[in-house]
Amino acid sequence: MNWLTNFVRPKIQQLVRPKDVPDNLWVKCPSCEQMVFHRELEKNLHVCTHCGHHMRIAVKKRLELLFDDGKYKRVELPRVAEDPLRFKDLKSYSSRLRDARSKTGEHDAIIVATGTIGGVETVVAAFDFAFMGGSMGMAVGEGIVTAAELAVVQDAPLVVVPASGGARMQEGALSLMQMARTTVAVDKVKEKGLPYIVLLTDPTTGGVTASFAMLGDIHVAEAGAVIGFAGARVIESTIRQKLPEGFQKAEYLREHGMVDIVATRQELPGVLGNILNLLRHRGPAGQVVPLRSRFPAE
């Protein structure tokens, strides 16, 4: 009996038992809760194939999507003082920075890169939401300033892609100062007559929204992105009223004049390319054909 129980039965169970399936083969959509095969999701640029919900993507994937042929050159950013306030809550700020750097492989929550979009040489500053929620501290402010100065030097448009929860609380007033610094930097780009385009992605909130993110010449938003200053629950508790359906979503803001264009992730490279070409190449959109005179020459 022991031979049957200990040897034969396990062998039979091993033959008929289904093989273990890795947990990451299927992804559950946070909107419709449908399961999407991971390869199909990647092929569709992390947009749900059932409901069209745009899931968040890594900052490097975002840059590959926007730049022509996915090619770009990263710009080295100046280093800033770390943990200037020696802040500590449940963990020290320095520990949180180490954890975020280990998790993302990035030094901070912003990447500045150059390349062509629609054939137009462009400077792009993109936020990494995986790095402490894309929060804006001194390093991020320095990144925006560097991107703006580079755009002026290279006579190139500036595209900023925010994905942020707002100012970084661990840096206190120093993080709030970046709102003013980035605003001044953007003004220098505009004074040079260069296009400044903001691509609003999910989420764009807090001090980022209250500064450079709403100063673009043109605001393009990714479909379904949450854009605002305070959270919806905070606003409802303050005004003690129920907010409209879809409040702070990209489509709602377009209807109310705060966003110019809402595009799907697949459409974004073409939309940005068209905008940049129109703003940089102000010639006629088509071939100029001379009109015949209605009255023949005598």
Smallest CA-to-CA distance from 209 within 135, 149, 102 is with: 135
156, 196 Cβ separation under 8 angstroms: no
CA distances for 91 relative to 96, 99, 199, 272, angstroms: 7, 11, 33, 41
CA distances for 196 relative to 142, 184, 236, angstroms: 17, 13, 33
What is the strand order of the sheet 110-117 is part of? Answer: 73-74, 110-117, 120-127, 158-161, 196-200, 218-222, 261-263
Q: Can you read off the two tokens belonging to residue 146?
A: 């560097």
Q: Looking up tokens 């605002």, which residue turns up?
A: 228
284 labelled binding-site residue:
no
51 labelled binding-site residue:
yes
Burial class (CB in 10 A: 0-12, 13-18, 19+), 283: exposed
Question: 27 forms bridges with which residues in the sheet?
Answer: 36
Measured CA to CA, the distance from residue 203 to residue 167 in angstroms comes to 13
48 labelled binding-site residue:
yes
Measured CA to CA, the distance from residue 183 to residue 179 in angstroms comes to 6
- Which runs of E-coded beta strand occur in the chain? 26-28, 35-37, 73-74, 110-117, 120-127, 158-161, 196-200, 218-222, 261-263
Helix axes of 268-280 and 59-66: crossing angle, nearest 10 degrees: 50
Q: How far apart are the first and last CA of the chain?
A: 118
Question: 10 forms bridges with which residues in the sheet?
Answer: none
44 labelled binding-site residue:
no
Binding site per annotation, positions for Zn(2+): 29, 32, 48, 51
The binding site consists of: 29, 32, 48, 51
